[in-house]
Amino acid sequence: MIKLQLPISEAAIRELKMGDEVLISGLMVTARDAAHKYIHENWPDWLKPIMENSMIYHCGPVVKKHEDGSWSFVAAGPTTSIREEPYEAAVMEYYKVRAVIGKGGMGEKTLAGLAKSGGVYLHAIGGLAASLAKSVVKVKDVYMLEELGVPEAFWHIEVKEFPAVVTMDSHGGSLHKSIKAHSDEVAKKLIFG
């Protein structure tokens, strides 16, 4: 297990290799479909301090609002990342984002972007909502809640020892590609004999 503390430098991120297991602590922000679409149409400045040398988490949480107006995450597992493929490389480069966390991996465009701007793809465990919610120790703020709704809003959160696996690194390595290459071979044999 490698411990990562946010904010994190490009150099530290470039040391990570496909297959590394990591535990992340610090401030990051959630963003999924509507949020990515919004960024791509507006490129807002207010996101810069939130995203620089930090991470984007593909997550649509279940949240709870407390009587004092504060929030907490009740469930906080990852959502499918590939839907952000058209946007992610550009977003990471523009805002100097060092990692995206999600599930299912991403495509060639993002893989190339990771190498270029210095980033990794971190795979969280899908469906670990209850446990991962425990790793979200604080909801610092929420942006565009009214416009985007709970699952799609930008939640600025502090995490502690959030577990993930590096499945795409900044050297062109992709665990998704190697697993697929193997299973393609097996499937071919099963189907065509």
30 near other proteins, rule: CB under 8 A: no
CA 81/CA 79 separation, integer angstroms: 6
Interacting residue with other proteins among 76, 99, 122, 159 (CB under 8 A): 76
DSSP letter assigned to residue 124: P
Specify the residue, 6 or 34, whose C-beta has the smaller distance to other proteins. 34
118 near ligand SF4, rule: CB under 6 A: no
CA 181/CA 173 separation, integer angstroms: 13
CA 23/CA 190 separation, integer angstroms: 38
Q: Residues 126 to 155: which contact ligand SF4 by CB under 6 A? A: 126-127
79 dihedral zone (left: phi>0; alpha: psi -120 to 50; beta):
beta
182 carries an active-site annotation: no
Within 13 A of 187's CA, how many CA atoms are on the CB side?
6
Interacting residue with other proteins among 8, 23, 34, 145 (CB under 8 A): 34
Polymer length in residues for the chain: 193
Catalytic residues: 36
Interaction site with other proteins (CB under 8 A): 19, 21, 34, 59-64, 74-77, 79-80, 82, 103-105, 123, 125-131, 133-134, 149-152, 163, 165, 167, 175-176, 179-180, 182-184, 186-187, 190-192
Interaction site with ligand SF4 (CB under 6 A): 77, 126-127
